[in-house]
Structures are given as C-alpha cells and as structure tokens.
Structure 1
Amino acid sequence: MSSGETMREDRLKKLAILKERGIDPYPAHSNRSHSIKEFLEVFVDHAEKPATLSGRVLSIRKQGGIIFTDIFDGTGRIQFVLQKTELNEVFDLFNDTVDQGDFIEAAGLSFTTKSGQQSLKASGWTMLAKSLSPLPDEWYGIKDEELRLRLRSVDILLNEDLRLMIERRANFWRSIRTFLDQKGFMDPFYGAIFTDSSFAPMVFCHNRCRNKW
C-alpha cells in the first residue's frame, strides 16, 4: 500500500470516530462570527474578544498538552490554541481526529502569545469538513508544473504570490468595469458555450431541503 493510500485509510478511520461519536463531519452550516481578516483588524482594540472563526487547517503543532493550529479562510491566517488542562475530552477529540487540510470552526477569546502572536484561545471546536486527502507540504508547495495546473485550488491555497496575483487581477478588471460603467458604457455578456435546446436539464436532489433542483 502506498503512503497516499495509507494516509487516506488513516483519515477514514478518523472520519469513522467522528460518526461513532454522533458528530456530523460535513455539517451544512457554520456559526462563524468574523472572517479572520475582520478579527485581526479589531484585535488590538478588543482584548479577550469572543469570536468564532472558521477555515482550513494549514498546520498543526503539538507540544505536550497544548496544540497550536493555523487556519486560513481566504481572507487571512490565524493561530488558535487548545489546552488539555482546560478542554480535556474536547482536546482529545481534536488530537485524535483533526488533520492538515480539514475545515474546522473554533470558538474562543482573542489573546496574544508570549511570542507576541495574535491568536485565539479556543474553548471549543467543530468539524466542518473532514479532508480525506492530505495537502502538499506547505513550505515546498507543488513543484510539478503540470500538477499545479491540475490542482489549481490547492496551488492557490499554498501559494501566496499566486493568490495576490489573482486578487490584483480581479481588482484591475473591477476598476475598469466601474470606470466604463460610470461613463455610460454597457458590458454585454456573450456566452462562450453553445447548447442544444433539446438537451435534458440536469436535476439533482438537495438532501437537507429534500427538493429537486
């Protein structure tokens, strides 16, 4: 069995643990109160501010009875801290089931670590989506050019320069459209995909709403 298959099997076991505990590993809703960017912007003025943040796990560092976890939500990155002495079973469940690449939610209070890093001291956490495939190493990223093009979303997640380039390009086109719109120009939409009117529509069922769409 390859290392990738072994890691997948390990994650499937962790998925089973969550289900055995009666925890939905793919809930439909999140209770996020702030984006990470919003949280960091008000951090200085609100010591020990309560917040619920969510994002994808980029790294996990375990030091005895403390776990440091970095999450990223598309707007920013932050570290949250779990302490076994305060959370006990909640800490153990995190330690036993959470991997890099998972989407999680953490609730707690803002605080600054001894090293001066802005963080969230977690009082609880929730699994939002259990990842069954590991992410590439964050430091090295994806070096294979063809693989980078095939796994574009992963490359964007790990490559900050690429994210900034996409953001700048979006801002550029937004400013161009705003300028032309203010001058009275219109932006017609010409669909590039042609379809036959005889094609049957694609119908799928939403499990939570029990409706077909």
Structure 2
Amino acid sequence: MNEEQSVSELLQIRREKLKYLQDSGQDPFKIEKVHITHYSEQIQEDFEALEGQKVTIAGRMMAKRGHGKASFINIQDKDGRIQVYVREDKIGEKAYELFVTYDRGDILEIQGEIFKTNKGEVSVKALEVKLLTKSLQVLPEKWHGLKDQDLRYRQRYVDLIVNPEVKKTFMVRSRAIKSIRSFLDDRGYIEVETPILDTIAGGASAKPFTTHHNTLGIDMYLRIATELHLKRLIVGGLDRVYEIGRLFRNEGMSIKHNPEFTTIELYEAYADYKDMMDITENIVAHVAENALGTTKITYQGTEIDLTPPWRRISMTDSCKEYADVDFSEIKTDEEAIELAKKLGLEVRPGMKKGHVINEVFETFVEKHLMQPTFITHHPVEVSPLAKRNPDNPEITNRFEAFVNTWEIANAFSELNDPIDQRARFMEQLVQREAGDDEAHMLDEDFLNALEVGLPPTGGLGIGIDRLMMLLTDSPSIRDVLLFPTMKPLDQNKQEQEEE
C-alpha cells in the first residue's frame, strides 16, 4: 500500500466515523457554543490555586496515548497545550467507546478536575468528553524543511496548528502593531483611513495594479501609497495623522517583496525630516522593547542594536565612504553618465546626475548598512515629493532608514511649494513617456490642495513587514504574512511538470 492510498483510506475512515455519529443523533457540527472557564496557560501557571477545581476547556486533540481503559491526550488551545487524563470509569463506558474513535485533529470539550500526575505534569482529569468538530483531514506530525515551505504558506491554518513557533511570530506582530499605535496615540496623532481604490496611483514610484469600476465605467488603481491623501488631511487641519494599512505594487516577488504589504505612514504639521528621524529610531526601539523586551536583536546570526541614536550620513558621503566615488567632483550630468558606464551601471534615457548617485548608492553602499543607519539628502531627481535643501537645491531634506542592508523607512520634509511640485510632476510625466511605468502620475487635485496651503510638514513611512522579519528572525517576508501571495496550485504544478 503506497502513502497516497493509505491517506485516502484514513480520510474515508474519518468520514465513516462522522456518518456513524450523525446517524446515531450525535452530529458534532450541530453544537454551537462552549462555556470555556479556563485555558491551558492559566491552569499551568495557577495550579496551586486551581488544584482540585472543576474546569471546562476546549481545543484540538494533538496526541493520544491509550492504556486499556485509560488514555492520555494533549489538547491544544489558544495559549498552548495541556494534558488530559481520560478514564472509562470516570466518563462512562459508552462515552469512552466513542472517545477511543476520536482522531488527532478533532476538536473536543473537556469538563474535568485539575490535578498533577505522578510525574509532576499539570493535567485535567476528564469527567466528560464531548466531540465538537470532527476533523476530516489528517494532520501532519510536523512540518519542517524547505520541501514543505510552499505547502505551509498555502495552508497557513495547518501550519499554525502543528508549528507553535509560527503562532508566536504572529503574536509578536500583533503586539508590535499595537505598540506603534500606542506610541503615536500618546503623542497626539489620530488614526485615519484613506481610499484603497483611486483613479490616480500616487505617492510612490511603483507600478500599480489596475482594476475596473463597472458602474462608473472607468479603470481604477489599488493604492501604492497613502501619502497624497494623508497630506490632504494636513491641509485640512488634522495636524498629526497616521494610517496602518495595505499597499499594493505590481512588481517582483522575493524574500523581501510581496505584492501586497503593510506600512504605516504618518504626517506631522510644523515638523521636518529631523523630527521624523527621531520618531523613526524611537518608534522602532519602542516596538522592539514591547514585542521582545529588548532593543538588541539577532537576525540570522547577526547581532543588531536598535537602540537610539542611529548613525546619520548623507547619500553622497556614503558613496565616497563605501564606493570611493566623490560626487562633489562631478559637475555635470554628462560626467555622471560616463562614471555610470565605467562602473558598469545601467544607463537609461533621461538619466541625470541624481539618478547616477542613487544607482551608485543602491549598487555599492546598501549592502554595507547592517546596523541601523539614516541615509540623508537624496537627489531631487529621485525625490519628487520632498522639499529641497535650502543650502543645496540639488538635494532634498529626505532620509531612508536601513537595517540589515534593507530600507525599512522613508521620510522627508514634505514639498509644500505647489509650483515646484507641478514642475516635478511634469518631469515625472516625461519619464513615464520615456517608458518608466513607475514614475508618478499627475494629480491635479493634490496640486490644488497644495495651492490651498500645506504647512511645513514632516512625513514618514515604515515597512511593517520588513520590521517584523527583523524582530522575529524570519528569513522571508512570507514568514511574517499570514497569507502571502502564491501562484495558483494548477499553475505551479504545470510549471513543475514542464521542468
């Protein structure tokens, strides 16, 4: 008998057991509610106070060991696992006959007394066992290794059941997001919601997903950023706003990229990019402290200290330090293009000195930024929404925060000059016409909002998923997304067959 036949027979046996229960008037799926009194962690931690008391627990049976007319089972609930001792003379002969037919994965209600076994394990002595849900699938004993990764992501519900450490990852994520909210709420920010569907995809350099609105008869885009709507709210007098939500970018997938991902964007009137630096390093430290109890983490074997203050260095100075390229000696776009060619960088139509600076940084510098670092003063060509530096109009008062060579945050003093903003949007349109489908679209309503008047404003965006990767020591972004984007199974199977 091969494995596939064996599993098939087990599945059939489970369905026959369910039919028997239903035919005998004991359909578990008709049960609606359980009055749970205690959970596993509480029972184990408060054993001395609870010993001998009657409790009602419920959860999934993860293991069963039989000894004649007595059995031990492990019940897994929301907090963990606890052992249950089931004896025929305690729950009754007929109830025990049914109990021995229950399978790993079934969901049970246990009413019993708290005690400790001779081996010292805190347990529940069952007085009544009730089947709540019949599991018709066979749970794997343990999922691990690369060969199971694809299935783990597709069937996250099973992954969460059999791999407790996965659940811990998402508990850390939940605590982290709560701590972000508390950090900002305590500082007078208000949480808002902005549209996910829009007629213009703005606020970032990215390729959007396109959809169609049937009633309006127009194409629309899933948002690539929340920036432009949040700035409109600053114009309207909501001086401190933030939004935590999904963004959608129709781009490549990798261990650091998923087509839909979570960010927080925040904006504060009368603040600048330096204020945003302070918020960035302090909010990350606050999140780490609340989620993990420390600001010193280890990611894939590398120790990283998130404790403020973080290092600050300009983009051009970082290019000089790590790539031995001094852009102060390069005066023209033509000289920059020649440098790019010598360095083996891709030269695209319309490239200027600022684009070359950014390319040199991304190619030669990023890989060195392991410890938290603020890279400041990006070229204006790659910062269409940032305010120019008053002492050098070729650069902007912008920064990106890097940890473990990854960009985890982007921020700047917001451009509030509507004339300058229009000129930069027009330059972005030229780039779009030259084939750059990630360049900004022209947003006339946003320009109108700037003409109404945007006060001096600092803005910040932080990638939640990459931050969660760092805090949970997860090698892939898929490990911190409950349901990452996956190829359809039939397409995946077809590609494997073609290989």
TM range (shorter): 0.7 to 0.9
- Give the match's secondary structure for 1:33: coil
> 2:89 matched to 1:85?
yes
Of the three residues 121, 128, 139, the one matched with 2:125 is 121
Larger Rg computed on CA atoms = 2
Q: How much does 1:17 deviate?
A: 2.1
Question: Can you give the 5+ residue segments of structure 2 that lack an aligned partner in the other structure?
Answer: 198-210, 216-499
- In 2, distance between residues paired with 1:91 and 1:141? 31
State the partner residue of 1:12. Answer: 15
Q: Structure 2 matches for 1:1-213, cutoff 5 A?
A: 2-26=5-29, 27-86=31-90, 87-96=92-101, 98-137=102-141, 140-143=142-145, 144-190=148-194, 192=196, 196=213
- In 2, distance between residues paired with 1:172 and 1:185? 17
Letter in 1 for 2:53: K
- In 2, distance between residues paired with 1:192 and 1:4? 44
Q: Bigger shift: 160-169 or 119-128?
A: 160-169
Q: How much does 1:195 deviate?
A: 8.2
- Give the match's secondary structure for 1:157: helix
Q: Do 2:15 and 2:136's aligned partners in 1 also have CA atoms closer than 8 Å?
A: yes
Computed over aligned residues only, the root mean square deviation of the Cα atoms, in angstroms, reads 1.9
Question: Can you give the 5+ residue segments of structure 1 that lack an aligned partner in the other structure?
Answer: 199-213
Larger fraction in helix: 2
- In 2, distance between residues paired with 1:147 and 1:50? 40
Q: How much does 1:20 deviate?
A: 2.6
Q: How much does 1:197 deviate?
A: 7.7
Q: How much does 1:181 deviate?
A: 0.8
Check 1:101–1:192 CA distance in 2 against 1; reply closer, same or farther (3 A cut).
farther
TM-score normalized with structure 1 length: 0.84
TM-score normalized with structure 2 length: 0.37
Q: How many residues align structurally?
A: 195
Q: Do 1:35 and 1:75's aligned partners in 2 also have CA atoms closer than 8 Å?
A: yes
After TM superposition, what 4+ stretches of structure 1 lie above 4 angstroms from structure 2? 193-198
Letter in 2 for 1:91: Y
Q: How much does 1:46 deviate?
A: 2.1
Q: Do 1:81 and 1:119's aligned partners in 2 also have CA atoms closer than 8 Å?
A: yes
Q: How much does 1:5 deviate?
A: 1.5
Percent of aligned pairs with the same amino acid = 30
